[in-house]
Amino acid sequence: MIDFELAPEQEEGMKAAHDFARERFRPVSRYYDEQEHEDPKELIDRMWEERNKGTLALGLDVTAALRIEELCWGDAGLFLCVPGPGLGGAAVFASGTKEQMERFLGRFNEGGPKWGAMAMTEPACGSDTSAIATTAVRDGDEWVLNGEKIFVTWGKRAVENPESLVVVWATVDKSAGRAGMKSFVVPAGTPGMRVEKLEKKLGIRASDTATIVLDNCRIPFENILGSPDVKKADKSETKGFKGAMATFDATRPIVGAMAIGVGRAALDFVKEAVENEGIKIRYGVPRHKLTALERDIMEMEANYKAAKLLTLRALWMMSQLQPNSLESSMAKAKAGLAVTRITQKAVEIMGPLGYSRKCLLEKWMRDAKINDIFEGTGQINMLVTARRVLNYSRDQLK
């Protein structure tokens, strides 16, 4: 029997996250949308404090997804300011040794706010990770990194805040293609790593998105995640390129949770507005007897619920140590598409009010689109899903 009831601690965590989002995020949501690149310092300090108390404790499981949905219901951009190991930490978790996990992730349990970013995308390399041009050359007991990374979420905060880190994907052997791709932990403040610029974005403006340059950046040899041996790494299920994919299997459902939070914010807004006008949604009535408004809202609800169930399923499988590559890609693809449609339809339904800046609806529509882009575009995740379902290789289905 399938049971969708939440445990008491999950309900408490959701309520705490929802209250924090309503009281702390919503009141300043518009301000930080308009003041792009201004650090919400007081809010960050408060989030770090709440995280350490357990109120905003996040992770890579169902409970974390439920909290993330609530926080992104408040503001997705401000959620992306919550200090923690983030994508960089997920990469360490997916590809690192036990000693590396303790050394790099243990720092997030003490001191002041810190962030873990992941730098993969390059000016000439987006979805095709085999085209990564950033190099890592061994020089004695060190690695020397050279290259440029773009669209790095948390880039500025991870580079400039003490004890933070950036996980950089680079190639140790260009001729080996994907097998030569490795990940390296670069601590904040490392000479040779700098922020080149910050992006001006359509949405999630409170989150810094940076270009990072690596110029003869030297790190200790032991900061490589996984084996430096290309052949050994190529045969491993958790190192090299497959380690990168394992990272995405963990983080894509988290992006799904972000998306459903934004989608629910828009859906709640529209349903409340309709209710205030005295319009009742008639559930259980045959579709051909429904009004266009009723059909639109029901379709929005169906997309939201489908995306949420796929997201929770992918995270539950991961928490049970089950392979979830198919499920994580399905969740990410569905959630990105669903939140885009939900927020656009919400703006359409509300008309001029939805398009105006009097409310946050137009902002949610702008914030929504990123969920269909980062952590693998919707098209890429559809492609991954098709390969898994049809049992096709990369060469058979491109």
**pLDDT score at 94:** 84
212-248 residue pLDDT tens: 999 999 999 999 998 888 864 444 433 556 666 677 8
Q: Which residues of the chain have pLDDT under 70?
A: 1-2, 231-245
Count of domains for the chain: 3
**pLDDT score at 174:** 87
60-86 residue pLDDT tens: 889 999 999 999 999 999 999 999 999
User: 3-state DSSP call for residue 302?
Assistant: helix
Q: Which of 258, 277, 217 is nearest to 65 (CA)?
A: 258
- Please tell me the distance from the alpha carbon of residue 199 to that of residue 77, in angstroms, as a whole number: 14
Q: Which of 183, 175, 337 is nearest to 247 (CA)?
A: 183
**pLDDT score at 266:** 98
Which of 59, 82, 105 is a domain's end point?
82
**pLDDT score at 182:** 93
Flag whether 104 is in a domain: no
- Please tell me the distance from the alpha carbon of residue 281 to that of residue 293, in angstroms, as a whole number: 9
Q: Are residues 213 and 244 in the same domain?
A: no
Give ∠ CA 355-360-363 in degrees, rounded to 5: 70
Q: Are residues 127 and 202 in the same domain?
A: yes
Flag whether 103 is in a domain: no
- Please tell me the distance from the alpha carbon of residue 173 to that of residue 229, in angstroms, as a whole number: 10
Which of 228, 261, 278 is a domain's end point?
228
Residue 390, CA distances (Å) to 199, 322, 381, 394, 397 in order: 38, 20, 14, 11, 9
Q: What is the CATH number of the domain that holds 69?
A: 1.10.540.10
Q: Which of 82, 101, 80, 99 is nearest to 90 (CA)?
A: 101
Residue 398, CA distances (Å) to 54, 127, 202, 296 in order: 44, 12, 30, 34
**pLDDT score at 56:** 80
**pLDDT score at 240:** 56
Active site residues: 375
136-178 residue pLDDT tens: 999 999 999 999 999 999 999 999 999 999 999 999 998 888 8
Task: Enumerate the β-bridge partners of residue 166.
Answer: 117, 186
Output the CA torsion 305→309→315→316 (10° steps). 140
Q: Look up the pTM and report it.
A: 0.92
Q: Are residues 214 and 270 in the same domain?
A: no
Q: Are residues 381 and 253 in the same domain?
A: yes
**pLDDT score at 235:** 44
Flag whether 200 is in a domain: yes
Q: Are residues 156 and 257 in the same domain?
A: no
**pLDDT score at 55:** 77
Q: Are residues 167 and 251 in the same domain?
A: no
**pLDDT score at 51:** 87
Q: Are residues 293 and 378 in the same domain?
A: yes
31 is in which domain, residue-wise? 8-82
Spatial contact of 240 and 234, defined as CB atoms under 8 Å apart: yes
Q: What is the CATH number of the domain that holds 300?
A: 1.20.140.10
